[in-house]
Structure 1
Amino acid sequence: MDVAISRVDRPMTDYAVTPHFRYDTVEDIEASRREKRPVMKTIELCEMRIAGEKNYIPTVPADSIWQVHSGQPITYAERFAEQYRNFKLGNSQAGEGTPLQELVPYGITQAQLSLCRALKIYSIEAVNSLEGIHLKALGVAANELKRMAGAWIADHSSVRSERSELEELRALVEKLQSEKTTAVHVAEEAIEDKIEASAFAAMDDRQLKTYIKERTGQTPMGNPSRETLLRMAEEA
């Protein structure tokens, strides 16, 4: 078990590892000892099919620890959360990345597709990540497949970059439109305030007192100054 984990944890992207969760029935040793008879239990396993490995398929319990981050244990079920969720729901489990069939316009042949499947290579990103012995496992097709995968990624990286720039421009336009709308509202409010202020300036003190009483229900007490009456009218 420890050897399997150490090999999987070599520098390798998750695109190169295709997980497959399944159930298995094994003996519960402790329960068998207590019961003095064979006691079986069902456990969840995670098979990891590594791109470029012909025969080696490390298999670990789904709830075993893959790594510890900041003191928090990460299980293999959490590492491959999407595939584990599909497993629990009874759905098909697919690896990460873009299907190799997308390389057909770049020249990949059916024979090469079959070779990749035989070597547990299921995505363009997995081909692109292959190095060393895993790349050599492709034999004479290694360089050609690597070239096609690199070309596909380069082409689609430029498309993603253009989409990102377009999204940024759209966000900028929305921001400017929002700022423009806000500025218009502020200007309209300022104009209304000026119109209202000019209307008050045209009133005499008696008219101001009448306006304040109509708006507040109370007549200004005493003999307030005109400045006070104007302020009260604006606040009414």
Structure 2
Amino acid sequence: MTDLSVLIDTREITITPLFRYESIEDINASERAGHLVKKMRQVVEVRFAGSKNYSPVFPVDAMWKRENGKEITFAERWADQYRAFLDGSNQEAAGTPLEMLKNYGISDANLSLCRALRIYSIEALFHLESDALKSLGMAGNALKEMARSYMAARDRGNANVDEVERLKAELAALKASMIVPAKEASPAQIDAAIEASDTEFQAMDDDALKDWIAGKTGAGRPRGNPSHETLVSMARELSNA
């Protein structure tokens, strides 16, 4: 099977830059004019997958690191994205669109949750760990398993030529979903997205919950006649395990 993904460096796949203009006070000009004077500067907003509140902003010409005695700026760190910004093009996140997980069970609520939490690709979801993964709430482990299953299937290379061409076309159509949104979700919007994702268990009927629990544990369906709330509680605990 032809590799359907663009080769990317996954060491930074959970970090997404967004270059933009920011209005700041020109202190010297303000002092000379005797009133507030502002100027525009180019900055990069650095978004971390799974982070609710941390998105630091740096001037594009600020030093990211020093290597072999040479200063490397944030513009140089993400040169392709910076060029897209200068050209006025859309800035796209690296990786494979999350919509490719539709066949693995990802819901619209979970897609919204991932984007609210700055998770823009399957690879970023796959590499989430610790607190970043926990930020997804009850859906976290299930979503990571979807990403793992997708990556494993892709690596096995078990699709035929027709399937490869179909998937290539699907990926091309989904690239628009990889555009990094200019405005991030607010804390309240993130909490609402988490709640919407969690309520999917509430919407499932008892038989669907029992099947889900059986599939998760491998120990068969729950015995007896547990209430709907008990089944929801069991599903939540398994999802968080």
**TM-score class, shorter:** 0.5 to 0.7
Question: Is 1:17 matched up with 2:20?
Answer: no
Farther off after superposition, 123-132 or 48-57: 48-57
- Cα deviation digits, residues 163-186 of structure 1 (max 9, x gap): xxxxxxxxxxxxxxxxxxxxxxxx
The correspondence for 1:134, drawn from 106, 115, 132, is: 132
- The aligned counterpart of 1:66 is 64
Runs (5+) with no aligned partner, structure 2: 1-9, 159-241
Instruction: Specify the code of the residue in structure 2 equivalent to 1:116.
Output: C
The correspondence for 1:56, drawn from 42, 54, 60, is: 54
What is the CA–CA distance in structure 2 between the aligned matches of 1:155 and 1:121, rounded to whole Å? 21
Structure number with the higher helix fraction is 1
| Higher RCO (CA < 8 A, seq sep 6+) | 2
With normalisation by structure 2, the TM-score equals 0.57
Contact 1:52/1:119, CA 8 A, preserved across alignment: yes
The correspondence for 1:156, drawn from 120, 134, 154, is: 154
What is the CA–CA distance in structure 2 between the aligned matches of 1:31 and 1:158, rounded to whole Å? 61
Q: Report the alpha carbon displacement of residue 63 of structure 1 after superposing the two structures with TM.
A: 1.2
Q: Report the alpha carbon displacement of residue 147 of structure 1 after superposing the two structures with TM.
A: 0.9
What is the CA–CA distance in structure 1 between the aligned matches of 2:152 and 2:69, rounded to whole Å? 38
Report SS of the residue matched to 1:66. Answer: strand
Q: Report the alpha carbon displacement of residue 128 of structure 1 after superposing the two structures with TM.
A: 0.9
What is the CA–CA distance in structure 1 between the aligned matches of 2:63 and 2:155, rounded to whole Å? 34
Report SS of the residue matched to 2:19. Answer: strand
The correspondence for 2:42, drawn from 29, 35, 44, is: 44
- The aligned counterpart of 1:91 is 89
Q: Report the alpha carbon displacement of residue 56 of structure 1 after superposing the two structures with TM.
A: 2.1
What is the CA–CA distance in structure 2 between the aligned matches of 1:82 and 1:159, rounded to whole Å? 29
Contact 1:13/1:129, CA 8 A, preserved across alignment: no
What is the CA–CA distance in structure 1 between the aligned matches of 2:111 and 2:140, rounded to whole Å? 12
Report SS of the residue matched to 1:56. Answer: coil
Q: Report the alpha carbon displacement of residue 31 of structure 1 after superposing the two structures with TM.
A: 3.7
Structure index of larger Rg: 1
Structure 1 segment 148-227 matched on structure 2, within 5 A:
148-159=146-157
Q: Report the alpha carbon displacement of residue 34 of structure 1 after superposing the two structures with TM.
A: 5.0
- The aligned counterpart of 1:105 is 103
- The aligned counterpart of 2:198 is none
- Cα deviation digits, residues 168-221 of structure 1 (max 9, x gap): xxxxxxxxxxxxxxxxxxxxxxxxxxxxxxxxxxxxxxxxxxxxxxxxxxxxxx
Question: Is 1:82 matched up with 2:67?
Answer: no
What is the CA–CA distance in structure 2 between the aligned matches of 1:13 and 1:138, rounded to whole Å? 21
What is the CA–CA distance in structure 1 between the aligned matches of 2:35 and 2:142, rounded to whole Å? 57
Identity %: 48
What is the CA–CA distance in structure 1 between the aligned matches of 2:115 and 2:38, rounded to whole Å? 35
The Cα RMSD (Å) is: 2.0
What is the CA–CA distance in structure 1 between the aligned matches of 2:68 and 2:28, rounded to whole Å? 33
What is the CA–CA distance in structure 1 between the aligned matches of 2:112 and 2:11, rounded to whole Å? 22
Contact 1:14/1:96, CA 8 A, preserved across alignment: no
Instruction: Specify the code of the residue in structure 2 equivalent to 1:141.
Output: A
Q: Report the alpha carbon displacement of residue 132 of structure 1 after superposing the two structures with TM.
A: 0.8
- Cα deviation digits, residues 79-111 of structure 1 (max 9, x gap): 111111111111111111111011111121111
Contact 1:103/1:152, CA 8 A, preserved across alignment: yes
